[in-house]
A and B are shown apart, each in its own frame.
Chain A
Amino acid sequence: MLFWQILIDGFAISSLYALGATGFTLIFGVTGVLNLSHGAIMVAAAVAAWAASGNFGAGAYVGAVFGVVVALLLALATYYLIVRRLQLSRAVREEEKEIFILTATLLWGIMIQEAIAYLFTNNAKTVLPIVDGVVTILGVRTPANEIFTAFVCWATIGALWLFVNRTLAGKAVLAASMNPRGVTLLGIELSTVYVGVWAIYGALAGVAGVLLGMFLGVSSYSAGPLTASAFSIVVLGGLGSVSGSLIAAYVVGYLETLTAYLISPAYRAIPALLLLVAVMYVRPRGLLGRR
Chain B
Amino acid sequence: MLRRALVSPPVLISLIVVLLAATLPLYVSGYVLGLLTIAYYFGVFSMAWDLLFGFANEVNFGPSFLIGLGAYTAGILDNLYQPPIALCIAAGVLASMIGGLVLALPALRVRGPYFGLTTLVAVLMLQNFVVVAASLTGGEIGLTIPDVISIDDKVNYWIALGFMAVSGAILYGLTRSPVGLILQASGQDPVQAGALGFNVTKHKLAAFLVSAFFSGLAGALMAFYLGTASVGTFIDVTVGVQVIIGAVLGGRRTILGAVLGAVFLVALGETLRPLGDLATFIVSAVALIVVLFFPAGLLGMVKGAREAT
Q: Out of A100, A110, A228, A273, which one reaches B295, CB within 8 Å?
A: A100
Q: Contact at A111–B288, with CB atoms within 8 Å? A: yes
Q: Out of A85, A99, A111, A224, which one reaches B285, CB within 8 Å?
A: A111
Provided the pairs A118-B277, A273-B124, A280-B106 are in contact, do residues A91 and B295 lie with their beta carbons within 8 angstroms? yes
Q: Contact at B245–A228, with CB atoms within 8 Å? A: no
Q: Mark B227-251, 1 if CB is under 8 A from A, else 0.
A: 0000000000110010011001000
Q: Which residue in chain A gives the minimum CB-CB distance to B117?
A: A235
Report how far A228 CA is from B123 CA in the complex, Å. Answer: 11
Q: Nearest Cβ distance between residue B101 and chain A, in whole angstroms?
A: 14
Report how far A284 CA is from B244 CA in the complex, Å. Answer: 24
Residues of B within 8 A of A284 (CB): 106, 109-110, 114
Q: Mark B43-61, 1 if CB is under 8 A from A, else 0.
A: 0000000000100000100
Report how far A273 CA is from B132 CA in the complex, Å. Answer: 14
Interface: A103 (CB within 8 A):
yes
Q: Contact at A91–B59, with CB atoms within 8 Å? A: no
B interface residue count range (under 10 / 10 to 19 / 20 to 34 / 35 or more): 35 or more
Q: Nearest Cβ distance between residue B192 and chain A, in whole angstroms?
A: 14
Report how far A203 CA is from B309 CA in the complex, Å. Answer: 49
Interface: A262 (CB within 8 A):
no
Interface: A270 (CB within 8 A):
yes
Q: Contact at B237–A235, with CB atoms within 8 Å? A: no
Q: Contact at A280–B284, with CB atoms within 8 Å? A: no
Interface: A232 (CB within 8 A):
yes
Q: Contact at B128–A273, with CB atoms within 8 Å? A: yes
Report how far A111 CA is from B287 CA in the complex, Å. Answer: 11
Q: Out of B106, B125, B248, B281, which one reaches A115, CB within 8 Å?
A: B281
Could you give 21 example pairs across A and B, Cβ below 8 Å? A91-B295, A98-B59, A99-B59, A104-B292, A107-B285, A111-B285, A111-B288, A114-B281, A114-B284, A118-B276, A118-B277, A224-B237, A228-B120, A232-B117, A232-B121, A266-B132, A269-B128, A270-B132, A273-B125, A281-B109, A284-B110
